[in-house]
Structures are given as structure tokens and as C-alpha cells.
Amino acid sequence: MDGITIKSKVESVDSSSNSKLASIFCMRNIKQGSMIFLMSAVTLILLSPVIYMVFMSFRSRREIMMEPLALPTKFHFSNYLNVISDMNYLGTVMNTVGVTVVTIILVSILSSLAAYPLARLRSKVSSLVYVFFLLGMVIPPFAALTPLYLFIRDLGLLDTYAALVIVYTVGHLPLGVFFYTSFMKAIPKELEEAATLDGASPLKIYWYVIFPMLKPITGTLAIFITLGVWNDVVNPLLFITTNEKLTIMPAVLRFLGTYSVDPTKLFPAAVLASLPLLVVFFALSKQIVNGMTAGAVK
Amino acid sequence: MKVDKRLLFLLPALFLYIAFTMFPVMKGISLSLTEYAGVGEATFVGMDNYKEIFQDQRYLQVLKNTLVYGITVVIFQNGLGLIFAAILNSIPAVRDAIRTALLVPSMLSLVIAGYVWQFLYAPMGGGLNELLVSLGLGSWQRVWLGDSSIALFSVAAVHVWMFVGYSTAIFLAGYSGISSEVKDAARVDGVSPIKSFFYIDIPLLAPAITVNITLATIGTLKSFEFPFIMTAGGPDYATMTLGLRIFQLIFSEFKYGSAAALSVVMILLVALITVAQNSYLRSREDKI
């Protein structure tokens, strides 16, 4: 279709004089160039706090006091070394990675399993259950915090990773069910029907036929879960009391406190805490952008 | 009657969801009718917690702050995001690179962004005021987070800064669904770019607008991280939001009954706003 539009445009241009053509292209280039310049400037301004954060992380307290906006003169890696050891950086990163991975596995299995009947069966029960799950998406995570705390306490799970894994897994189930159900509806039924004729059980069909086809949407879901777990402070502060078991953001929060923060601690801690997600983001930016924007277009 | 075996697949997820989400929500509603400090027995106080919320001037201010914060962020984040996406869509050479760059702030966490901006906003030696001086705009200096007339907007600006790239990315995804023929036809007919933006782009971007507004609304109404880190709700309650107040009631005042009541108010508020918004935005989509 695009080819046709271009062709008709070329024909219409051909009929006019060549100089006019050149001037149109020239005008277009100037306009494009100025737009590119404008957006690059806007982007630079928006990124400046991030750049500021990185520069500040290498400066000594004295330098920051004397000249708040100057560039680093030499790189004070000592800032970083102090933060890494004081914050138990590697330990908290490993905690966060562990909790994230287990949560992703549990959410993807539990919610895709639930989504299978929801996508395939046309009954009152299944549509009711579907709506019931979606309800969970509008409930703010705060809403049930106190009773949830008491429940976890009664189960004897306070100060365990299990508490975090359970809370994160359950918190992401509605999103998972929503993603998988809409994705599965678009998968043709023929393969399953063939497998059923061959005598495969529903569970086998789910595991060998359906689940392998869910990779793209599982990727999207994994992005949302990762962002959710890495950025959460409330649940670890509530359920974890041992500092060594904290995940990254509450560890930063506890390390820095909230009043009059020391810049030589703040900025290296901010860079270190952001680094893992930024590395993943730049490595997978295309998939992440596609995942995050999926659903915006019908 | 034979029940389809596949219905059994619902059970594990359904069980966990009921046990750890719906059951606590129900308990929360009953807890909101009590006074409870975490130990001992909860005492039944009826609607007292709710009466307190709706009679206390401070709580009315909290509701107002939350709404002003939400509306400000939703308008600016999506307005700017839409403009950025419209411009980026016309410059394919750099579109993807800038889209990725604009997403970088949203990859920082709220906690980190809060800390960095608290420092940028600092009245003495803070990046923003220093920058204004070095640009010769010293008279524009403000106590960004300490002046109760602007503090809420200073905090909201950080929210916009952080997520404007996310809105832009979603609008760009919407743009990729608009066929170039429509826009070419308009151009050939001599429709100005501004007109084509308002009469072609915006109507065709309706689904992206719905997604963006819904996400931004839910995201801001429940967030508490920025005011928690940057202002602790001050000065004089100017930046106290619903989420932060609930956080304080639980973590520093140990008033679990009041926290539960405020949470119920929050659920109703979020549900009401998102349902109203969605039905309006969807009906707008259908008209097109």
C-alpha cells in the first residue's frame, strides 16, 4: 500500500518543475533538522538530572560544598567503595534478583494455568472468575496491607523471603491472568484439538502445547514484575526486619534515611541502585519498549 | 453433567488470590470499624474512623492534595507525551533513539528519583537554584519544597519528569497504528500540520489516550514515595497525599484501624475515578 502512495506522489511531483521539487525537499530538510534539534535539546534537558547524579557520585564532599554544579575534577571511587560495603550492596542485589526470578516463575505458571480455561471455556463461571481476577488490578496495594501483615505474621512467615515471594506473586496474578487470557484467545485451537484426539490429558496439552507458545507475553509480564519488585519499598519494610534480607530499594532507604542526606552517600547509592535495571534496559530496550506499550494499540 | 477438567486449573491461582488479596481486603473493611494498635484485641468503634476522615479538615486537605496531584500529573505527563510523540513521529531518523533515551528516568525507581530531586531542589547549593543563578535568573530561585504554595507542584513535576517518556512511548505505539495514507491524503489536500494533529491524530490515538490516562491516574493516586522522601508531607500538610497518610498511620503511628478506613476510602476513590474515566474514554473511542 505504501508503494502506491509514494508512486502517486512521485508522479504528481514530476509534472511540476524540478526547481520547485528541490525547494520542497530543502524546506522539508530544514524543518526536519530543526525538529531533530529541538527534541535532542529536550531530551538532554530531561536527562540532565541523571547525568548530574552520575557526575556528583564521583565528587568529594568538599568539592560539592565549594562548587555545587562543577564537573568532577578527579574520580573519587572511594565514595563507591564505602557505599558498597556499608549498604551490603551485592547481598541486597542478589536478594532482589532471587525474589524477582522466583516470583516471575510462579506468576507465569499460576496465571497462565488459570488463563487457559478462562480463554477457552465460554461459560458463566469462567467469565465471572475472569472479572473477579480483574478486580484485583484496581485495588491499590496499600488497601489490604494491615490484614495481610497480620495474616503473614500468623503464618509465621515474618522476616522470610517466602513472605515477599508470596506477596509479589499474588499481587501480580491479576495482571498475569489478564495478559495470558487475552494472548491465548488469539492462539488457534487446532493444535490442542489434534493433541486431544491423540489422547493427551488437558494438563499435558497445557504444558507441552500451550505454555511454550506464551513466550512473548511472558517476557512482557516479566518486565512488569521486575519493575514492581525492584521499585517496591513498602512490603520489605513491613515484612523484613533483618537488614541482610532486604531488597534493594528499602536497603537504600534504610541506608540513607530521609533527613539531610549526605551527597557522597546519596549519589553513589543512587547510581548503584539504578545500575542493574539500567543495564538490563539498554540490553533489551527494544523488547522492553514493545512490552511496555503492548495493548496501547488495538 | 460433566464438568470440564480444565476448570481445575483455576484453583491454585484462585486459592492464593482469595487467601492473600480478597480475604485481607474483606478483613480490612472489618478492621476499619475498629481501633487496633497491632497487639491485643481490636475494639469495635463503628463508623468513628470514617467520621474522623470526613470531619477532620486535614483529611479533606489530604483528599484535595491527592486529586490536585493526580490531575496535574495526568494532564502534563500526557500533554507533553503527546506533543513529544507527534514531533518524534515526524522525524523517523532519530525517533527510536530518543524514545529510548526519554525512558531512562522511568527506569530509575521512585525512591532514587525522589532522593536525587530532593537534592536538586535544595534551597542552598541545590542543582536547580544554582543553575538559575548561573543562567542569570537568580530572581527565579525558590524554596521549591519548603514553600507550601508550590511544594505540591514541585513534587508533581518530578512525577511528570519521570514518566513523560513512558507516555511518549505509548503514544508512539499508537502512531504506528495510524496508516500513513490518511495523513498523506490530508497533506495533499493542504491540511495544515496543526489541524491534522487535532482532527486526525488525536481521534485516531483514542485507544492510546485511554491507556495513558488510566495508567497515569492509577499510578499517581496510589503513589506516596515522592512526598515521603522529598517533603514527608510538609510543609504544613501541603504535600500530604492519601498514600503517604496511610503509610504513616501504619509505619509510624500504628493506628491500624484508621489506616484500614483510609484504605477503604482510597479503594473506593480509585475505583470510582478509573471506572468513570474508562467508561467515558471507551465511549469516546466507540464514537470514532
Residue carrying C-alpha cell 565528587: A59
| H helix intervals, A155-212 | 161-185, 190-197, 202-205
Q: Nearest by CB to B173, which of A234, A288, A296?
A: A296
Q: How much is the pLDDT for A18?
A: 60
Chain A neighbors of B39, CB-CB under 8 A: none
Task: Return d(Cα A209, Cα A195) in angstroms, integer.
Answer: 8
Range of the domain at B107: 60-287
- Measure A243 CA to nearest chain B CA, in Å: 17
Mean pLDDT comparison of A81-85, A123-127, B70-74, B89-93, highest-scoring range = B70-74
Q: At residue A14, does pLDDT exceed 50?
A: no
B119 part of a folded domain: yes
- The torsion angles phi and psi of B43, rounded to 5 degrees, stand at -100, 135
Q: How much is the pLDDT for B122?
A: 82
Q: Does B222 touch chain A (CB under 8 A)?
A: yes
Each residue's pLDDT tens digit, B40-50: 777 788 788 88
HSE (side-chain half, CA atoms, 13 Å) at B134 = 11
Mean pLDDT, chain B, whole residue set: 85
Q: Does A143 touch chain B (CB under 8 A)?
A: yes
| A-proximal residues of B, 14-43, CB under 8 Å | 14, 16-17, 19-25, 27-28, 31, 36
Mean pLDDT, chain A, whole residue set: 82
Q: Which chain A residue has the Cα nearest residue B230?
A: A258
Paired with A144 in beta bridges are none
- A296:B93 CB<8 A: no
Q: How much is the pLDDT for B257?
A: 83
Q: With cut-offs at 50, 70 and 90, classify the pLDDT of residue B78.
A: very high
Q: How much is the pLDDT for B287?
A: 66
Q: How many domains does chain B have?
A: 1
Q: Does A167 touch chain B (CB under 8 A)?
A: yes
Q: How much is the pLDDT for B168?
A: 92
B43 part of a folded domain: no
Q: Which three cell numbers stand for residue A183?
A: 494472548
Q: With cut-offs at 50, 70 and 90, classify the pLDDT of residue B2.
A: low
Q: With cut-offs at 50, 70 and 90, classify the pLDDT of residue B288.
A: low
Q: Does B137 touch chain A (CB under 8 A)?
A: no
Each residue's pLDDT tens digit, A53-99: 888 888 777 777 777 777 777 777 788 888 888 888 889 999 999 99
Closest by CA position to A275, among listed B283, B183, B112, B87: B112
- A293:B172 CB<8 A: yes
Q: Nearest by CB to B256, which of A47, A120, A146?
A: A146
Q: Which three cell numbers stand for residue B222?
A: 496510589
User: Which of B11, B35, B62, B116 would you mutate first to test chain A, the one with the most A CBs within 10 A?
Assistant: B116
Q: At residue B150, does pLDDT exceed 80?
A: yes
Q: With cut-offs at 50, 70 and 90, classify the pLDDT of residue A12.
A: very low
- Angle CA(A255)–CA(A73)–CA(A278) in degrees, nearest 5? 50
Q: How much is the pLDDT for A17?
A: 53
Q: At residue B266, does pLDDT exceed 50?
A: yes
| B33 three-state secondary structure | coil
Among B116-120, B166-170, B221-225, where is mean pLDDT lowest?
Answer: B221-225
- B263:A53 CB<8 A: no
Residue carrying C-alpha cell 526536519: A32
Domain ranges in chain A are 17-78, 80-293
Q: Classify residue A211 by burial, with Cβ atoms within 10 Å: 0-12, 13-18, 19+.
A: middle
Note the ipTM here. 0.83
Q: At residue A10, does pLDDT exceed 60?
A: no
Segment (H or E) for B34: strand B34-35
Maximum distance among all Cα pairs of chain B, rounded to whole angstroms: 82
What CATH number is attached to the domain comprising B214?
Answer: 1.10.3720.10
| A-proximal residues of B, 39-78, CB under 8 Å | none
Each residue's pLDDT tens digit, A157-209: 998 999 999 999 999 999 899 889 888 888 888 888 888 888 888 888 889 88
Q: Does A284 touch chain B (CB under 8 A)?
A: no
Q: Nearest by CB to B9, which of A5, A116, A256?
A: A116
- B247:A292 CB<8 A: no
Task: Return d(Cα A115, Cα A181) in angstroms, integer.
Answer: 5
Q: Which three cell numbers stand for residue B160?
A: 511528570
Terminal CA-CA length for chain B = 45
Q: Does B270 touch chain A (CB under 8 A)?
A: yes
Q: With cut-offs at 50, 70 and 90, classify the pLDDT of residue A23.
A: low
Chain A neighbors of B5, CB-CB under 8 A: 201-202
Q: Does A41 touch chain B (CB under 8 A)?
A: no
Q: Does B180 touch chain A (CB under 8 A)?
A: yes
Chain B neighbors of A230, CB-CB under 8 A: 109
DSSP state of A214: G
Q: Which three cell numbers stand for residue A279?
A: 543495564
Q: How much is the pLDDT for A2?
A: 42
- The torsion angles phi and psi of A57, rounded to 5 degrees, stand at -65, -20
Residue carrying C-alpha cell 552517600: A265
Q: At residue A111, does pLDDT exceed 90?
A: yes
CATH superfamily of A80-293: MetI-like (1.10.3720.10)
